[in-house]
A and B are shown apart, each in its own frame.
Chain A
Amino acid sequence: MRTVPLRYRAAALLAVAVGLLWVAPALSQETVVVRAKLIQGEVPTDPAAPIWNTIAATEFPMSPQVHWQKRIGSVTAKSVKVRGVHNNKQIAFMVEYADPTQDPADAAALEFMVGDKKAHFAHGQPMGQVEGGPVNIWYWRNDTPAAADMSAQGFGTLKKQAQQDVQAKAVWKDEKTKVTFKERKLSLRKDPKGEVVKDPQTGNPIVDEDTKVAEQEVSGVWRVVFTRALTTTDKEDVQIQPGTFPNVAFAVWDGKKLESGDLKEAGSQKAVSSWWYINAEPPPDYSIYLYGLIAVVLAAGVEFVIIRKVKKGQPA
């Protein structure tokens, strides 16, 4: 039986290690960035367009809005899956999330920082020591035909812009989807005899916490597609340049009507995320390969000249 020489095995191992180092950041980054893939032709405005099935989604966990009044304890949307495409003129984002019921007041929104100044994710509210900037909000609501292009810089300043640049189309389907979330269980610690164990210092019962990632099958999915030009003439809008990393945050409202007549989620009572990133894939630039090649030739030329010079002046 032929054996592979040690040096080839070592080279193969090295290649695998380098490959892993290369791939690892690419795998990990997809939890923080929505990659809007560059496509040819029109961007899809329909959530049912087949192209969405070819685009990788990035999933972002959602939290109940607890930052300011009026808060909410738990929300329907535990996460959102977001996909993006653009054609160098228009950009489209599809936000997908589980919601068991289709209600008129169901709504979703994307939020972006506008300009160079950092804005707080809660409607760009003022910060104590940092001069913040405004935010641009793309808002869709099920019972409203058109999307809203909005601006805010602090609580109570949310307004619809004079120039409306955003379109949205949504489809709710009664299909099954899997939702992953953190399941937390608290239990009193007990000894083998079944007696509650108490903290020897405080005398209080010791509580154990068990947290695990659980998966639940839910019927009902919203898919909302927002579209807009990458750049607009409106100074209140986010301007999306391919290759850059603008910040984005998400919000979702379950507009289900409760027995009390109130909506389950409305206004500030909603599911929210912190700031993440979008990245519109830049068009391919083949000139960088040419410049790399020129650099190789120049470096080899310099090397040649130096060696020649050294050989001529080599001390005996």
Chain B
Amino acid sequence: MRGPSLAVKGGILLAAVFVALKFVLPLLTAPLPMSLIYLYLFLTIIGIVVYGTLSGESTEALLGPIFRFLSGEGIGGAVKSARLAVLVLFPLLVGWQTYGGLAPNTQPPAESRTIHPAPPGEFVGLSNPLPNTPENVMMGTGLYAAYCLPCHGPKFNGNGAASDGFNPPPANFADPGTIAMLQESYLFWRIKKGGVGLSVEGHPWKSAMPRWEVELSDDQIWKIIMAEYAGAGQKPRTWE
């Protein structure tokens, strides 16, 4: 029994690659830009054409159904209707793409902000020099209440009374995706240098996080870090 022709198999492969890149991949990692998806689809088509034209027989298997579909000879029923739909829709699609490319953009530019950009080398691997004692945590909690609570909130969840107007919003320390996946040295960098210390991918021009090195000593910052982990019920990430 004959299976689907090479052209149909190629079409299925192309559709599968598109679905995988567009819908499945974003479930695992960051979504790909459409320009990259088009590039991968183009490469897939090249691969299908190269494979399909290796011999005269495979060329016929690849191009024969396409030619018959286009010419309309020897087809009927649903395939005939599909052919008519393709022939009508193709020029309309080209027209729509042209219009879309020329029409003025009504959306603001996309912002792909990196939440946790890499810290400068001098802040990598630093250890908290202070012992994690109840006294230090208590002092850190007091400092947190005075300096951090208005934005990050009494529940350490970024829901402080001063947070509403800021975009991006203050970090939610109770979320396992924030300080729980970071080392203490990372927090030390972010608190000490503030939003303006971020690299370009962190969009420092939008961050309201103060540069606390102007007002707090290093020891005070380390104590605040202890208090944030304790208050949010999290533990710093370690390499062990």
Interface centre among A130, A181, A275, A297 (most CB of B within 10 A): A130
Q: Is the CB of B208 within 8 A of A66?
A: yes
- The chain A residue with its CB closest to the CB of B208 is A67
Q: Is the CB of A68 within 8 A of B210?
A: yes
Q: Is the CB of A274 within 8 A of B91?
A: no
Q: Is the CB of B108 within 8 A of A307?
A: no
Complex: how many Å from CA A129 to CA B117?
12
Asked if A125 lies at the interface with its beta carbon under 8 angstroms from chain B, I say yes
Specify which chain B residues have a CB less than 8 angstroms from the CB of A243 in the assembled complex. 104-105
Q: Is the CB of A118 within 8 A of B106?
A: no
- When the two chains form the complex, which single residue of A62, A129, A299 contacts B94, counting CB atoms closer than 8 Å? A299
Asked if A192 lies at the interface with its beta carbon under 8 angstroms from chain B, I say no
- When the two chains form the complex, which single residue of A128, A275, A289, A315 contacts B196, counting CB atoms closer than 8 Å? A128
Asked if B206 lies at the interface with its beta carbon under 8 angstroms from chain A, I say yes
Binary per-residue interface labels of chain B (49-81) against chain A in the complex, 1 for a CB within 8 Å, 0 otherwise: 000000000001000100110111100000000
Interface residues of A in 116-144 (CB under 8 A from B): 118-122, 125-130, 132
Q: Is the CB of A66 within 8 A of B98?
A: no
Complex: how many Å from CA A207 to CA B156?
12
Q: Is the CB of A292 within 8 A of B99?
A: yes
Q: How many chain A residues touch the partner (CB < 8 A)?
A: 69
Give chain B nearest CB distance to A112 CB in angstroms: 13
Q: Is the CB of B196 within 8 A of A127?
A: yes
Asked if A295 lies at the interface with its beta carbon under 8 angstroms from chain B, I say yes
Interface residues of A in 272-310 (CB under 8 A from B): 272-277, 279, 282, 285, 287-289, 291-300, 303, 306-307, 310
Q: Is the CB of B108 within 8 A of A277?
A: yes
Interface residues of B in 30-66 (CB under 8 A from A): 60, 64
Complex: how many Å from CA A303 to CA B69?
13
Complex: how many Å from CA A150 to CA B164?
27
Interface residues of A in 220-275 (CB under 8 A from B): 243, 245, 271-275
The stretch from B8-16, B179-187, B197-205, B217-225 touching chain A is B197-205
- When the two chains form the complex, which single residue of B107, B159, B205, B210 contacts A66, counting CB atoms closer than 8 Å? B210
Interface residues of B in 115-138 (CB under 8 A from A): 120
Known: A182-B164, A209-B159, A310-B71. A129 touches B204 (CB 8 A): yes
Asked if A2 lies at the interface with its beta carbon under 8 angstroms from chain B, I say no
Known: A74-B161, A186-B154, A275-B206. A292 touches B199 (CB 8 A): no
The stretch from A9-17, A25-33, A85-93 touching chain B is A25-33
- When the two chains form the complex, which single residue of B71, B73, B109, B162 contacts A64, counting CB atoms closer than 8 Å? B162
Specify which chain B residues have a CB less than 8 angstroms from the CB of A314 in the assembled complex. 67-68, 71, 73
Complex: how many Å from CA A285 to CA B101?
13
- The chain A residue with its CB closest to the CB of B94 is A299
Asked if A97 lies at the interface with its beta carbon under 8 angstroms from chain B, I say no
Specify which chain A residues have a CB less than 8 angstroms from the CB of B107 in the assembled complex. 25, 29
Specify which chain A residues have a CB less than 8 angstroms from the CB of B1 in the assembled complex. none
Known: A66-B150, A275-B206. A285 touches B98 (CB 8 A): no
Asked if B163 lies at the interface with its beta carbon under 8 angstroms from chain A, I say yes
Specify which chain B residues have a CB less than 8 angstroms from the CB of A119 in the assembled complex. 205
Q: Is the CB of A274 within 8 A of B166?
A: yes
Q: Is the CB of A292 within 8 A of B98?
A: yes
Complex: how many Å from CA A66 to CA B212?
12
Give chain A nearest CB distance to B4 CB in angstroms: 20
Asked if B165 lies at the interface with its beta carbon under 8 angstroms from chain A, I say yes
Give chain A nearest CB distance to B2 CB in angstroms: 18
Q: Is the CB of B206 within 8 A of A121?
A: yes
Give chain B nearest CB distance to A298 CB in angstroms: 7
Specify which chain B residues have a CB less than 8 angstroms from the CB of A26 in the assembled complex. 106
Asked if A115 lies at the interface with its beta carbon under 8 angstroms from chain B, I say no
- The chain B residue with its CB closest to the CB of A126 is B196
Give chain A nearest CB distance to B158 CB in angstroms: 11
Asked if A7 lies at the interface with its beta carbon under 8 angstroms from chain B, I say no
Complex: how many Å from CA A36 to CA B166?
23
Q: Is the CB of A273 within 8 A of B165?
A: yes
Give chain A nearest CB distance to B201 CB in angstroms: 10
Asked if B155 lies at the interface with its beta carbon under 8 angstroms from chain A, I say yes
Asked if B240 lies at the interface with its beta carbon under 8 angstroms from chain A, I say no
Asked if A193 lies at the interface with its beta carbon under 8 angstroms from chain B, I say no
Complex: how many Å from CA A128 to CA B98?
42
Interface residues of A in 148-171 (CB under 8 A from B): none
Could you list some 24 contacts between A and B, CB below 8 A? A33-B108, A63-B165, A63-B166, A64-B150, A64-B161, A64-B162, A66-B208, A67-B209, A73-B162, A118-B203, A128-B204, A129-B200, A132-B205, A184-B161, A207-B155, A209-B153, A209-B159, A271-B165, A279-B106, A292-B95, A295-B99, A307-B70, A307-B71, A315-B60
Please list the residues of chain B having a beta carbon within 8 angstroms of any beta carbon in chain A. Answer: 60, 64, 67-68, 70-73, 87, 90-99, 102-109, 120, 150-151, 153-155, 157, 159, 161-168, 193, 195-200, 203-206, 208-210, 214-215
